[in-house]
Structure 1
Amino acid sequence: MSGIYIHIPFCKQACYYCDFHFSTSLRKKDDLISCLIKELVLRKNELVNETIETIYFGGGTPSLLSPKEIQLIINTIQQNYSLKNNLEITLEANPDDLTSKFVDKKAQDIFKEYMSVGINRLSIGIQSFFEQDLQMMNRAHNAIEAKNCLTLATKYFENITIDLIYGIPKMSNQRWKENLSIAFDFGIKHISSYALTVEPKTILDKFIRNGKYPSPKEEVAKDHFDILINETQKKGFIHYEISNFGIPRYFSKHNTSYWLGKKYLGIGPSAHSFNKIQRSWNVSNNIKYIKDIQANKLPSEIEKLSVKDQFNEYIMTGLRTIWGVSLIKIREEFGEMNYTQLINNAQKFINEGLLNIEINEAGKKILKTTEKGKFLSDGLASDLFII
């Protein structure tokens, strides 16, 4: 089973914290869509023996595309790839697009049209239900639009995930709890939540260096993370990946395939692909991407993954999930020496209560983070890498 990711590199405006590839100019949108379709055809042989179980429209802001434009892309996938019945098709969307997209349509018509072209899961970028947070991040929507969007979305879609950001300067623990409470009140069954991070060369990075904004504090993020775990647990959510919480049966199938090491194809500027033995990524430049695809050239770079790369990536993704790192897989795929080294290196973290060796449902030993170690999972993983 494999997945297809479609990168839509357009946004209305730049969020201050974002370092993803996008353009605020829609001038090349039609050309870009044509090239996404052409790239899907050019690369169909890469998954010729695979069944596609997920399609994910990410960005950028995919909800800047009309349902008809989305349908053109889905139709191309249907015509060129083998698809699983009832596959998951996710559309990332911003609240303002879903509530006021076309002046000649009622807002609810947008939801119906996206459903009609095959979208069955929405990923809505709420980030916060409070105006001061949204303004601080330069989000395109306001707090009223965030709530209005979910009022409508939950009438038409059962499978909805929302993004929420914590660790925002001046966000109190109480306001963070209220964000979560509002999400629960809407009956949301999946939440992806991330600490506000300062990426190099972003507007937020510049503002902090110039003294315009305070830096996020790790202790605040840690408090919010603990609240997130406790509050979602009370509502029956499973913390199945470090930043993802879902009611059973509502986990993201697409993102789970990444964490479990399945193959995926990334289409569009800056999109990444993975086939277990190598990783590739497209150029992060819309004009160059369009020019190359129109010339029947794939604008990508390829990195063949060494055994060390594969080991380190498995440790990183495994420790972020409830499925952990399979010790039998380490021994069988990476050898006795790497297995022994992993156990030895992990022991001090086991002694500190940050890692644990458990028996999973299949009766196999797995290495997992403890509750205490979850917030530190990326750092723990890097300490266990083959150098």
Structure 2
Amino acid sequence: MPNIRLLNSISERGLDRFPNDYIIGTDVQEPDAILVRSHDMYDYKLEQSVLAVARAGVGVNNIPHDRLAHSGTVVFSTPGANANAVKELVIASLFLVARKLVPSILWTNNLRGPDIEERIEANKKQFVGSELAGKKIGIIGLGAIGAELANALHALGMTVVGYDPFMSVESAWRVSNQIERSTQIDELLGSCDYVTLHLPLLDGTRGMIDSALFAKMRPGLTLLNFSRGELVDEPALGDALRSGRLGMYVTDFPNSFVLSLPRVIPLPHIGASTVEAEENCAVMAVEQLKEFIETGNIRRSVNFPDVALAFTGKRRITVAHQNIPNMVGQIAGALAKSGINIANMINGSKGSVAYTIIDIDNHADEMIDLSAIEEIAGVLRTRLI
């Protein structure tokens, strides 16, 4: 009877995926897992009982996932669940910029008096925009969102160039062969009318759009940021906008500094704020937790390797451990000494941690003592399923 604690409101469409014997709520005791959206968990006191944390969303900046990895707690996120929502908002933002919709709406909304039609006809030339068809856009980051966006913008008649030195095979399959690939970010920035960012925030990407890259941008370029505000160096952004080098900045992550700059279209962090995206994220997070609790399989974890073994009904042992030499050998040796026969085994590693799934032939009524494995130096957590 697994216990699931909720730290935020989670879509019922996702929660309905849990079997009836799961106990779900905000105040459940000794939770086996936690479901979260935006709650800051850095100062959250996590019970030893917690096997996993699943975020119904993509970014995990609110979860100390590195620290949790070293206690054997798996952290999941839901990449791709909100891809369509972000894709559609990026496309809408491109139309906002190209057709000067924001200033035209503001100007028109302030009109008063009996001669509105005449004034509109006399002044509408100031809002002449441009069409997206035939324009060139660069997409930096071709993950779930970037790949979907590339295909959609190509269908709108844009020339699409993608840059992603770490592009996965899965993403490569999703991207149309009509999408150009750039191997140099400088080349992309210097040739595009629009550039949109779709990258995770990592040590290597923080502040990556800096003064050196702004200097290489095509003059008048529009930059869109629906990933993380910290990807862009703010002092350099200010210089680029004030000098006119950067034509427009569209961001889903405004702050007081960004709002003080000219030619900024700010949005209130609504990239994934659709009913459908919230439902999709909740469903994916619940399915990940359910599979992990019931089978030990890990899919789409941010702090542990993805490791999955078809569940055949045999008893299963899972071991979260440090990624150091001879761990698998020691685990197998401990099982052999305990008279436990291995039927199947799989292991994977990610950075400094690793994860091993072992199916065993011992009958369900046999006592299984995991203490010999738990005593191995470097073992973080064990489970018997």
* TM-score bracket, shorter-length normalisation: under 0.3
TM-score by length of 2: 0.25
